[in-house]
């Protein structure tokens, strides 16, 4: 499946889920139609001088889905398979994610079609600065606040902040989040998505009566999200029996020594597991992922990319709970199979909302020029995630539905309420 097909499929999935919720709650047709469309979609051309003197023209996007609850918020993705349809779908999911956790934001997303791993840092900087200039008419601390996503990092956010600041003539740290702490970034931001996912995972385990010391966890994707979640869960007593990334995996039924594994991966080229002595290593990425998804664990956390659990492999999943640390890792067809097998799914718009939550904290700190201690950030994140979990679980109990349906009902209802209160201008 090529990038266009993947992106279009993700957008169809997002719209289909909205349609089901709209029908269930009796959403007014005009509000439904409004939510089905993105408020703004910008496509830009990004000429960039490469290190060899040639000029490469990249394609970029910035999409704002809905701004009824406040300025829009969403990541910047650098990936060779990125499409406009994918960005639109992810912007819609960001709207629901912000609404579920009660943030005063709407959803946005953006990115550039490129392979950041094949570019030098100077090339990335030149491309990023031109991309920022091209989308500057949409972004701003009171309009649309970008953040890191797949293929981007705090340094790229620093370049974006500096470029925007040079354009307006003064420093504007609140225009992006996920920045280095030295430029107004927040302590605790790098691990926020994984920590938030782990917090919700523990609440879901408790709901099923699973005790940490007696529970096993498998984590697909050992990047920023998976590593932080593994570190946090290990510290709380969970036994992590398998982790994978695109290059391979490592497994141990007795449980992996996560601190040792984190040290090993940090010291390894490209985060490889080769040579780690605390478990059985598999050097083939697809084979390792296939094995991990079928492990007989209590909790499976896909923390990599979209469309990882599909109709082709969902029947092999043996976990009691699937926690979506990534965006849309379970396809609709797979979701139905998991439901039929009695496997609960904690949806992405709840499970991985920790990143945008601490991005919100960073934005607040930038606007106030008053910065928090890391323990205050982490404590506020845990409180916010648990409140969102309780809200979603409450809807699930009241409506007698699965957690995914409950989260979507809660999100769409909150956005619809804001839409009605604001009315139509003019």
Q: Could you count the other beta carbons within 10 Å of the beta carbon of residue 331?
A: 20
Q: Please name the helix (run of DSSP H) or strand (run of DSSP E) that holds residue 96, with its range, or none.
A: helix 84-100
- pLDDT per residue as tens digits for the range 182-217: 999 999 999 999 999 999 999 999 999 999 999 999
55 bridge partner residues: 49
What is the β-pairing status of strands 239-245 and 248-251? antiparallel
User: Does this chain's domain 3-170 share its CATH topology with 192-351?
Assistant: yes
Grouping H, G, I as helix, E, B as strand and the rest as coil, residue 74 is strand
What gap in Å lies between CA 265 and CA 223, rounded to an integer?
A: 10
pTM assigned to the model? 0.93
Under 8 Å between Cβ of 351 and 201: yes
Task: Give the tokens for residue 11.
Answer: 């957008």
Question: How confident is the model at residue 395, as a pLDDT?
Answer: 98
Burial of 171 (0-12, 13-18, 19+ CB in 10 A): middle
Question: How confident is the model at residue 306, as a pLDDT?
Answer: 85
Low-confidence stretches of the chain (pLDDT beneath 50): 1
Grouping H, G, I as helix, E, B as strand and the rest as coil, residue 240 is strand
Question: How confident is the model at residue 1, as a pLDDT?
Answer: 42
Helical spans, DSSP H, in 213-324: 224-235, 258-267, 285-293
Residues 6+ apart with CB under 8 A from 424: none
Grouping H, G, I as helix, E, B as strand and the rest as coil, residue 285 is helix
Question: How confident is the model at residue 276, as a pLDDT?
Answer: 93
What gap in Å lies between CA 377 and CA 292, rounded to an integer?
A: 32
Write the DSSP string, 320-339: SEEE--SSS-B-HHHHHHHH
- Each domain of the chain, given as residue ranges in start order, spans 3-170, 192-351
What's the fold here for domain 3-170? Rossmann fold (3.40.50)
Tell which CATH architecture fits domain 192-351: 3-Layer(aba) Sandwich (3.40)
- pLDDT per residue as tens digits for the range 328-363: 899 999 999 999 999 999 999 999 999 999 999 999
Residues known to be catalytic: 109
- Number of Cα atoms under 13 Å in the Cβ half of residue 136: 19
């Amino acid at each position: 499946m090529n990038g266009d097909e993947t992106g279009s499929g993700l957008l169809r999935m997002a719209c289909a889920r909205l349609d089901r919720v709209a029908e269930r709650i009796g959403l007014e047709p005009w509000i439904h139609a409004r939510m089905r469309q993105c408020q703004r979609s910008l496509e830009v051309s990004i000429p960039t001088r490469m290190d060899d003197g040639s000029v490469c023209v990249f394609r970029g996007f910035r999409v704002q889905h809905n701004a009824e609850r406040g300025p829009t918020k969403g990541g910047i993705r650098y990936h060779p398979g990125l499409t406009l349809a994918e960005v639109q779908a992810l912007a819609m999911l960001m709207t629901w994610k912000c609404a579920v956790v009660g943030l005063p934001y709407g959803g946005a997303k953006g990115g550039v079609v490129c392979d950041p791993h094949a570019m030098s840092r100077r090339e990335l900087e030149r491309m990023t600065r031109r991309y920022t200039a091209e989308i500057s008419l949409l972004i701003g601390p009171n309009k649309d606040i970008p953040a890191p996503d797949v293929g981007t990092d705090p340094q790229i956010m620093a370049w974006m902040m500096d470029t925007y600041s040079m354009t307006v003539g003064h420093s504007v740290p609140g225009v992006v989040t996920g920045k280095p702490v030295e430029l107004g970034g927040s302590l605790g931001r790098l691990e926020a998505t994984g920590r938030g996912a782990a917090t919700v995972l523990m609440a879901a385990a408790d709901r099923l009566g699973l005790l940490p010391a007696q529970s096993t966890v498998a984590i697909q994707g050992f990047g920023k999200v998976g590593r932080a979640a593994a570190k946090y869960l290990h510290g709380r007593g969970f036994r992590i029996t398998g982790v994978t990334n695109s290059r391979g995996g490592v497994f141990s039924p007795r449980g992996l020594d996560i601190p040792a594994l984190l040290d090993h991966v940090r010291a390894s080229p490209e985060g490889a597991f080769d040579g780690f002595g605390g478990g059985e290593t598999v050097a083939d990425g697809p084979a390792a992922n296939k094995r991990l998804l079928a492990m007989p664990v209590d909790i499976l956390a896909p923390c990599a990319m979209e469309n990882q659990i599909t109709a082709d492999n969902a029947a092999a999943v043996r976990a009691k709970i699937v926690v979506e640390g990534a965006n849309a890792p379970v396809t609709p067809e797979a979701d139905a199979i998991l439901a039929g097998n009695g496997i609960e799914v904690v949806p992405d718009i709840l499970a991985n909302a920790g990143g945008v939550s601490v991005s919100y904290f960073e934005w607040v700190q930038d606007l106030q020029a008053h910065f928090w201690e890391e323990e205050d950030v982490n404590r506020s994140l845990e409180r916010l995630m648990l409140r969102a979990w309780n809200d979603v679980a409450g809807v699930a109990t009241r409506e007698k539905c699965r957690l995914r349906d409950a989260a979507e009902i809660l999100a769409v209802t909150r956005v619809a309420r804001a839409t009605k209160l604001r009315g139509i201008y003019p």
